Amino acid sequence: MKRIITVALAAVLILLSATSAQAQEKKSKKFVQDKWKIEKIAFLTDAMELTSAEAEKFWPVYNKAEAEKKACWKMTMEAYKALEAALDAGKDEKETAALLDKYISAVQSGKTIDEKYVSEYRKFLSNRKVAKLFIAEEAFRRQQINRLNK
């Protein structure tokens, strides 16, 4: 009987520590994401030389664009995985064509997001600052890749 209780307590402790580790991992991931966002905001604000008035108008629009890009990226990856699975499963030409069209459509919709938001940015930013946005986004992306590689 003591042995059963000991094994049960050990199992409970293992489950609790695993749950605690998962919660800690989620907190850590959230911390890293928040830190990354703060760094990106600072980087873009500095690179674009935004005034406080411009920043006040810019960030809500930019965040909306980023949310759309994220949703589009998710759709693109889902379409990609479905297309890859269809090829692996040997699906027929008709099914493959439909999945390919869905994938191409998702990729294309991602490209139109920037076009859509450039006109929004131009309402309160100069063309020079809008151009700096795209240059700064790429510079920030490269900076993050270099940081990960080190």
Task: Encode pLDDT of 101-114 as tens digits.
Answer: 999 999 999 889 99
Tell me the mean pLDDT in the region 1-24: 47
**Does a structural domain hold residue 7?**
no
**Does a structural domain hold residue 5?**
no
Looking at the structure of the chain, the number of domains it has is 1
CATH number at residue 47: 1.20.120
**Does a structural domain hold residue 1?**
no
* pTM as predicted: 0.73
pLDDT at 30: 82
Quickly list DSSP for 41-68: HHHHHHHHT--HHHHHHHHHHHHHHHHH
Tell me the mean pLDDT in the region 127-144: 96
Higher pLDDT, 25 or 2: 25
In this structure, how many other beta carbons lie within 10 angstroms of the beta carbon of residue 133?
20
pLDDT over 70 for what percent of the chain? 82
pLDDT band at 136 (very low <50, low <70, confident <90, very high): very high
**Does a structural domain hold residue 4?**
no
**Does a structural domain hold residue 115?**
yes
**Does a structural domain hold residue 126?**
yes
- CA dist 97 and 130 (Å) reads 38
Does the pLDDT value for residue 145 go beyond 60? yes
In this structure, how many other beta carbons lie within 10 angstroms of the beta carbon of residue 70?
10
pLDDT band at 148 (very low <50, low <70, confident <90, very high): confident
Does the pLDDT value for residue 15 go beyond 90? no
**Does a structural domain hold residue 12?**
no
pLDDT at 17: 53
- CA dist 120 and 132 (Å) reads 15
Q: Which domain holds residue 58?
A: 35-149
Burial of 58 (0-12, 13-18, 19+ CB in 10 A): buried
Cα–chain center distance at 36: 11
